[in-house]
Amino acid sequence: MATTVETTFRERLTRQPGPATKWLGVLLVLVALQFGAVMQTIMSTVPWGTIGGALPATAPWAALAGVGDALADLPTLLARDVIPNQGYQVPGEGWQGTFMGLSPAAAWGIRVSLVYLYSFGFVGWLGYGYLVFRRHYRAADWTPYDDMLGRLDGHRWGQFGLVVVLMFIVMALFAPTLGPTTVQSNIAEPFSHELQYFDENAGEVTTILVGEANLQSVSKGGGGRNVGPMQYDRYDRFHPFGTLPSGKDLFTFMVAGARVSLFIGLLYISLAAGLAVVLALVTAYYKGLADLTVVIAGDSVQALPQLLVLILLSFVLSDTWIAGIYNGGLLLALIFAITGWPYLWRAVRGPALQVSNEEWIDAAKSFGQRPVTTMRKHMLPYVVGYLLIYASLSLGGAIIGVAGLSFLGLGVNPPTPEWGRAVSAGQPYVATASWHISLIPGIMVVIIVTAFNALGDGIRDAVDPQSEAGSNEVAAGGGGA
């Protein structure tokens, strides 16, 4: 009888390097095209200045910050200066300063379309990389992940959530490129920047401060005091979502707010999920006193009204140094993590307890395997799928929670954009011609939260096939609810 000799991944890669080399080469090209934009996102999202101020002024830190700034200045294919959309129209001569002389709306639309085309192409190429790995380099012909992906492939509701979530992530990552203008010039420091426009009365091109132009482009109801969606203001600036009551561009405000919401949500999920998984594995492995202690701690946190705690801590800690990091974003993420970890812990506690009673766990104990190794190798993979389900649902809840706090004037400090603040600013104009100020951000919050919930449903049905047949009891039991 012939015996099958198992080979390592490195040996399989050495034996057939062609497919992997081609895939990696295309991936490096895709990364290089937008590497400067990626570094710009990292340098502008992470509060490097605040972190640096808290650390000693050492040469390595200064050198690291300098390298980051240099990489952020690298030219990229889809940069604003490659496809500019800000310009002015001269009678008889057309548009000046825009991409190929197109209208600002057309130039902006081209840039947005290329960004999303590139992003979805990049994600698709990553998916193709998994197919290359499965076809040429994976030792097993079949794994449970194949069935999970197959079930997700036919889950239209989950696919809808995945597409919308990806669009939201792209909006956050490419916020400086997607906006028709920049946060720095239009929102943060409008009176420190200028723009050119054609003055019909003077018959020539003149210059005006962006802040003064914003005051002439406010949306405060009818009577000529409104710049609605897909309209130009008197200074030839295109506004896809219209303007705010302050005259600032709403679309630029929204894409920058998406970055803030994503930063808070991901940091919250990372902290809460990490704590929840560690506690779930420890309590499931040791049970007894360890489980009782965490149950009491979790019940104590859950007994507190989360919204009230969020409001109270946001107000009490608003003047502390931690509230200055990312304009309150880090503080919000920490508060969400402190008050939200019991929900994720209870969601994965059931699966952790279930797998801890399996025979292979007892076998690992009898062979003297270290508890940490047993938890990591034999228990963690079983829990991860359920964690993804509830993490997706919790992310949507965090986004709507941040928006709600900003609506109440808490949370992220102005002038940092946040969706809830736009809803609050447009509340007095809901029944006027400036309805867009509240309605568009409100609809986007609903769509994003629904998408995260849909993605969670898709992951649940992929991980637990019995839930797809409507077995709610099994799904609830497996999820630890």
| Burial (Cβ within 10 Å: 0-12, 13-18, ≥19) of residue 138 | middle
Per-residue model confidence (pLDDT) at position 472: 42
- CATH number (domain holding residue 474): 1.10.3720.10
Type and span of the H or E element at 402: helix 380-407
Three-state DSSP at 16 gives: coil
Per-residue model confidence (pLDDT) at position 113: 95
* Domain co-membership, 377 together with 228: no
* Domain co-membership, 278 together with 425: yes
Inter-residue contact 402 to 332 (CB < 8 Å): yes
Q: Is residue 48 part of a domain?
A: no
* Domain co-membership, 396 together with 346: yes
* Domain co-membership, 373 together with 430: yes
* Domain co-membership, 365 together with 264: yes
| Residue-range definition of the domain harbouring residue 222 | 183-248
Per-residue model confidence (pLDDT) at position 133: 92
Q: Is residue 265 part of a domain?
A: yes
Inter-residue contact 388 to 258 (CB < 8 Å): no
* Domain co-membership, 230 together with 282: no
Backbone angles phi, psi at 198, to 5 degrees: -90, 115
Which among 213, 248, 283 is the end of a domain?
Answer: 248
Per-residue model confidence (pLDDT) at position 162: 94
Q: What is the rounded distance in angstroms from the CA atom of residue 49 to the CA atom of residue 67? A: 14
Which among 197, 214, 248 is the end of a domain?
Answer: 248
Inter-residue contact 164 to 448 (CB < 8 Å): yes
Q: Is residue 70 part of a domain?
A: no
* Domain co-membership, 401 together with 470: yes
Question: How many structural domains are present in the chain?
Answer: 2
Q: Is residue 224 part of a domain?
A: yes
* Domain co-membership, 223 together with 255: no
pTM of the model: 0.85
* Domain co-membership, 322 together with 456: yes
Say which amino acid occupies 338.
Answer: I
Q: What is the rounded distance in angstroms from the CA atom of residue 398 to the CA atom of residue 207? A: 43
Q: Is residue 99 part of a domain?
A: no
Per-residue model confidence (pLDDT) at position 2: 45
Which among 194, 226, 248 is the end of a domain?
Answer: 248
Q: Is residue 73 part of a domain?
A: no
For the chain, count helices (H), then strands (E).
22, 6
* Domain co-membership, 330 together with 345: yes
Q: Is residue 42 part of a domain?
A: no
Mean pLDDT by 10 residues, the chain (481 residues): 64 89 94 78 59 50 56 69 90 90 94 94 94 88 81 89 94 90 92 91 90 93 87 94 94 92 89 91 87 89 85 82 78 89 88 82 78 81 83 86 84 82 91 93 93 90 66 37 34
Per-residue model confidence (pLDDT) at position 55: 47
3-state helix, strand, coil in the chain (%, to 5): 70, 5, 25
Per-residue model confidence (pLDDT) at position 62: 54
Q: Is residue 40 part of a domain?
A: no
Non-local (6+) Cβ contacts of 4 within 8 A are none
* Domain co-membership, 222 together with 363: no
